[in-house]
Structure 1
Amino acid sequence: MSSKHTLRPNVLPWPPMLLAGAAVASILLGGALPLPALHETWTVWLGGAVVLIGIALDVWAIVTMRRADTNILPTRAADLLVTWGPFRYSRNPIYLANTILLIGIGIAVGNYWFMLCALASALLVDRLAIRREEHHLAARFGADWIDYSQQTPRWLF
């Protein structure tokens, strides 16, 4: 494995770029080519609940990393392999939270492009960021990373 993986996993901050791109694309597509959607009071509440779940997971993961005093930026080297908190259930709780957040927005506002773009964004984050981050973590943490990656799913399953 090349040493570039030990220095930093990504040159560009793909996850926030893709999240923002998915949100903008959803808004534009929702205006130009609206998909059939439910516009009921209960869908607003359901979407709001899903948004809150996404935000809660995001905050939990960020606070966990901050308390571990480790880097959170996708363009910097990992300082520590965090395996507790939400990282017990998903190796990528922040990216999972971002996906959940976009899906919740789509349900709440009745713009189902958010759901489709959330899934496309998750796929791109997986290919452009997560795979590189995993190589980086394997190079930095060796057997500890291997054990963790075999016990904890990349997303949720």
Structure 2
Amino acid sequence: MTSASEPGPLAPPAARPWPPILLAAIVAAAVAASYLAPLSWPGQDDPMAHVAGLSLGAAGLVLMAWAAWTLKRHGTTIRPDAAADVLVTDGPYRFRRNPIYLAHALILLGLAEITHNIWFVILAAAYIPLVTWLAVLPEERHLEARFGDAYRGYKAQTRRWI
């Protein structure tokens, strides 16, 4: 029998690593859609628009690196299909519960600006409910089963997305 501070083995939150699968599928779909059903870019083609769009993408890359480094520093997995060893609540996780998935959405918006492909924006909007359903909700159930009241307290004080 394990104590509350020493959680025992538990099944992983998901059988597949849905977030990177979804991200790759959305990038491929946005590229394909730009050829099959091209839509004009509604944004301005000026330096400030480029700075704003590229800043979103850069912020996503920085956020993803910070979140991955934080998980590594705590000795727990970054894999969404593996059981968590530690409840991480610092670094970017002190602000949001899912910084890597938020980073993915920001990166997709940055790709939209770089390519002027509006499909990245449209599909970034689809990414959020899909990753919530396929990854976030199972991860939350896993973390609650694994860490109990500690996770429930963290969840009550830290937003999921924005």
TM-score band w.r.t. shorter chain: over 0.9
Please give the alpha-carbon distance, in whole angstroms, between the structure 1 residues aligned to 2:152 and 2:117: 40
Displacement after TM superposition at 1:97 (Å): 0.1
Give the CA RMSD over aligned residues.
Answer: 1.4
Rg: which structure is higher?
Answer: 2
Q: Counterpart of 1:36?
A: 40
Q: Counterpart of 2:4?
A: none
Q: Is the CA contact 1:61–1:93 (under 8 Å) kept in the aligned structure 2?
A: yes
Among candidates 8, 11, 15, match of residue 15 of structure 2: 11
Q: Which moved more, 1:99-108 or 1:19-28?
A: 99-108
Structure 2 residue identity aligned to 1:73: R
Displacement after TM superposition at 1:39 (Å): 5.9
**2:70 is the counterpart of 1:64:** yes
Q: Is the CA contact 1:44–1:109 (under 8 Å) kept in the aligned structure 2?
A: no
Indicate the SS of the match to 1:6.
Answer: coil
Structure 2 residue identity aligned to 1:35: L
5+ residue gaps, structure 1, are none
Structure 1 residue identity aligned to 2:22: L
Indicate the SS of the match to 2:89.
Answer: coil
Structure 1 residue identity aligned to 2:21: M
Structure 2 residue identity aligned to 1:140: R
Render the CA deviation track for 1:105-140: whole Å, top value 9, x for unaligned.
112221111011111112100001110000000000
Corresponding residue pairs, total: 152
Q: Which moved more, 1:53-62 or 1:108-117?
A: 108-117
Among candidates 25, 28, 51, match of residue 24 of structure 1: 28
Structure 2 residue identity aligned to 1:149: K
* TM-score of the two chains, using structure 1 as the length reference: 0.92
Runs of 4+ in 1 over 6 A off after TM superposition: none
Structure 2 residue identity aligned to 1:62: A
Displacement after TM superposition at 1:6 (Å): 2.7
The percent identity for this pair of structures is 40
Higher normalized helix content (fraction of residues)? 1
Among candidates 44, 61, 68, match of residue 55 of structure 1: 61
5+ residue gaps, structure 2, are 1-8
Please give the alpha-carbon distance, in whole angstroms, between the structure 2 residues aligned to 1:122 and 1:14: 12
Render the CA deviation track for 1:40-78: whole Å, top value 9, x for unaligned.
142333222211100000000000111111111011100
* TM-score of the two chains, using structure 2 as the length reference: 0.89
